[in-house]
């Protein structure tokens, strides 16, 4: 996957970017903690879905430095 100008290939690379994105989200700290925990416990298939879902909501063609915001995923993670 290409994120901005960075090519992400391994799960660890994706996890590092995802942690940075999650840190910038406009959500409750507890929800951020849940997302970070999910990175470590999801199997590879679920991690890929989780990663794609969050990253697809971020406009990677934007030049502004605003904080990221995504739709709530907590209910889908807890299920």
Helix (H) or strand (E) holding 63: none
**Is the whole model's pTM more than 0.75, yes or no?**
no
Q: What is the pLDDT of residues 26-62, one digit of tens each?
A: 888 998 998 899 899 999 999 999 888 888 877 554 4
Averaged pLDDT score across all residues of the chain: 75
The more confident residue out of 23 and 67 is 23
* CB crowding 39-55: b at 16 or more within 10 Å, else e: beebeeeebeebbeebb
What is residue 42's predicted lDDT score, i.e. its pLDDT? 92
Lowest mean pLDDT among 10-14, 15-19, 47-51, 61-65: 61-65
């Amino acid at each position: 996957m290409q994120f901005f100008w960075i090519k992400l290939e391994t799960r660890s690379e994706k996890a590092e970017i995802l942690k940075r994105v999650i840190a910038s989200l406009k959500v409750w700290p507890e929800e951020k903690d849940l997302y970070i925990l999910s990175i470590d416990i999801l199997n590879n298939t679920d991690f890929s879905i989780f990663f794609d879902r969050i990253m697809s909501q971020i406009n990677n063609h934007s030049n502004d430095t605003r904080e990221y915001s995504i739709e709530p995923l907590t209910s889908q993670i807890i299920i």
